[in-house]
Amino acid sequence: MLILPPSRKALTLFSHMGWCEYKRVNCWRTACALALLALLPAVSPVARAGTGDDDRFLDDLERAGFALFRDEAHSVTGLIPDAVHADASGHGNVANVAGSGFALAAFCVADERGWLAHTQAVARVRQMLRFLAEQAPHEHGFFYHFLDLSTGARTWESEASSIDTALVLCGALTARQQFDDPEIRCLATRLYERVDWNWMRNNRPTLCLGWSPGNGFSRYRWEGYAEHMAMYLLGLGSPTHPLPAASWSAWRREPLGVWAGLTFIECPPLFAHQYAHAFVDFRGQRDDFADYWRNSVFATLAQRQLCAEMGAEFTGFSNNLWGITASQAVDGYKAWGLPPRTAFSNALDGTLAPSAAGGSLPFAPRECLDALRTMRAWENGRLWRAYGFVNAFNPHTGWVANDALAIDTGITLLMAENFRSGLIWRLFMRNPEVREAMAHAGFRKGAPAPLADGARYLLPLADGISNSVFNLAALQRFDAPRRAVARPAALPEEKWDWQTLDADSRESVFDGDGLVRMRFAFAWDATNLWFRAEVTDPDVRSELPPSLIYKQDSVILYVNPANTALRWYGPDDMQFGFAVTNKTWEWFNGRHLECAHTRSTTNGYSVSAAIPWTLLNLMPRAGLAIGVSPALNSVSHVDEPTLLLNWRWKKLGNDRVQLGTLTLE
């Protein structure tokens, strides 16, 4: 029988003796256990892999983390500073609104464990919810990412953020279940019901990252695997502005990676595998696509193994000292992670973040506990300050951050509590809207139960697939290959194999304006591979300075002559660019095209290029297959990220990308 630390209600029954003493009294063990089980949730927390010393360590970790939310919250707004000095000597005047979501849940933990008087916990939660509901600015219910700590005003020109609002709502709905207080319940419900999720879709199936004054909706969308699952479930369960059920299946469960013998959906920063799980209890159930609990287990264990393998490169990295996620670094904040490790976009420098292991405690308890305890002891406790761990450190160089971040302290606290008691899962899953959303998303029981011994997850690829982690048939539609034919150049162009690339393409890297599209085709002769593209774009932009030519409106053509997988900056791979200003470049290795032209048309522009076979180092013949992916850059504002529509761009890790296949006819 699994015996858990008691809830606040259970403690009132046994106030005459301490919990540890209670467990030692054999004559009362059975009777007390039965009494406790009557008060505990039907779904148990993770099978425990810790010891008594581990429990005391986790209690210290949670208490220290809660102190940040208790002591650093603004006295009027209740908002939590984005970053605080780890020695409690001060903080800035900017709040990350997501920190409020973690804080609300943290007060639930403190109330349950008796770290704060119940009346004080209620008062602090009321204060924060009142400010958010009545004074904090919002757009259709979505809060701005960063707020002035004292006034709540939008700061840093931040966006009204969909994911950060969702984290606030997760905390509010958790508090709605913890506190039997009419005002808390009313305020939490009000915050949730005023969010217009369909507005944030902006007429597409997936949610935008945000909206900002002047620029409108972000061109980036939550359409790949990331930390957004709880957000989509909140949208599905909304009683006022529900997302269509199709929104859940619209985002991609890719790329699938194989690391350390484990198969899982990749997203390098480990927090992306943690945030949704802090609130939603995905254990023992799955949807039509995957078992997301086990996916996070695999991602955690794979990162641990890969960190250990880098021990020769970075001093200190080992099975007991690991953890890479978005964090501070010596030269600023970095959204890095592992796996995959890519030289172009994920260049590691040896920095580790305690929250990587802390946020994965339920997934791999023994492995994460060992890492956290090693960090606590590192250099005689140099990483442990007033609020627990500093945000990050570099054992290779000796650098140590001076700050603690609210969101990283928060994920560690919540996941430690979920590992110990399942409290946050139990509270959040009591919300009927969440249960309804899970049903709409197609979740069902029957997935393998979580295992306490993380080493038992180390399965070969074939076993990993057959062991119900993924539904490969369902995932296949997010990974469909693309094929085209290059016709003989002597044929009229109208007989070429024309392909269409538009914003509805599931191969889009980023979503965009439906009016922007391109059709393209290839042909060949003994000398050249011919490429034609016709772009429809009502707002062609070409005024960016020459140094930013690659961000102008342009057509991009990726070529992998071997048709294996393109490697970013690979010596044999190519990225050709054709700008609206009739400038041409090859980005990877500086190759030059003699024959390439861009011309304006009435509704956009066209591209014509001849790529010599000698440049590709290929001998043309019928049946030859080449890896290609035409893409389209469209910039609506000088200061806005480029829209990149790509014919096929399947990330394989290690800077490798699978393109579409072009076959010579």
Per-residue pLDDT tens over the stretch 198-219: 999 999 899 999 999 988 999 8
Q: What's the CA gap between 217 and 327, in Å, rounded?
A: 26
Q: How far apart are CA 287 and CA 34, in angstroms?
A: 34
For residues 369 and 390, give the distance between their C-alpha atoms in angstroms, rounded to a whole number.
Answer: 17
Q: Which of 14-23, 283-292, 317-326, 439-448 has the highest mean pLDDT?
A: 317-326
Q: What is the pLDDT of residue 37?
A: 29
Rounded distance between C-alpha atoms, residue 596 and residue 610, angstroms: 6
Residue 547, pLDDT > 80, answer no
Residue with tokens 């794979």: 302
And the tokens for 16? 């005459």
pLDDT, tens digit, for every residue of 490-501? 999 999 999 998
Phi, psi of 501 (to 5 degrees): -125, 115
Q: Would you state the torsion angle of the CA atoms of residues 116, 119, 125, 126, taken in this order, to the nearest 10 degrees?
A: -160
pLDDT tens-place string over residues 452-489: 333 333 333 333 333 345 666 566 555 568 899 999 99
Q: Measured between alpha carbons, how far is 457 from 557 in angstroms, rounded to an integer?
A: 41
Q: 84 - beta bridge partners?
A: 91, 404
Angstrom distances, CA of residue 278 to CA of 354, 445, 531: 16, 19, 49
Domains defined for the chain, CATH in brackets: 1-40 (no CATH), 41-474 (1.50.10.140), 480-664 (2.60.40.1190)
pLDDT band at 517 (very low <50, low <70, confident <90, very high): confident
CA separation, residue 119 to residues 107, 114, 125, 525 (Å): 11, 11, 10, 81
Token pair of 509, please? Answer: 């890297």
For residue 12, is pLDDT > 80? Answer: no
- The more confidently predicted of residues 482 and 47 is 482
What percent of the chain has pLDDT above 90?
68
Cα separation, 136 vs 116, whole angstroms: 26
Contact 306/298 with Cβ under 8 angstroms? Answer: no
Would you say the C-alpha torsion 5, 10, 11, 16 has a positive or negative sign?
negative
Q: Please name every residue paired with 462 in a beta bridge, in sequence order, or none if there are none.
A: none
State pTM to two decimals: 0.80
SS (H, E, C) 497-566: CCEEEECCCCCCCCCCCCCCEEEEEEEECCCEEEEEEEEECCCCCCCCCHHHHHHCCEEEEEEECCCCCE
Cite the DSSP H helix spans in 179-274: 182-193, 197-201, 229-237, 246-250
213: CB partners within 8 A, 6+ apart: none
Does the pLDDT of residue 36 top 50, yes or no? no
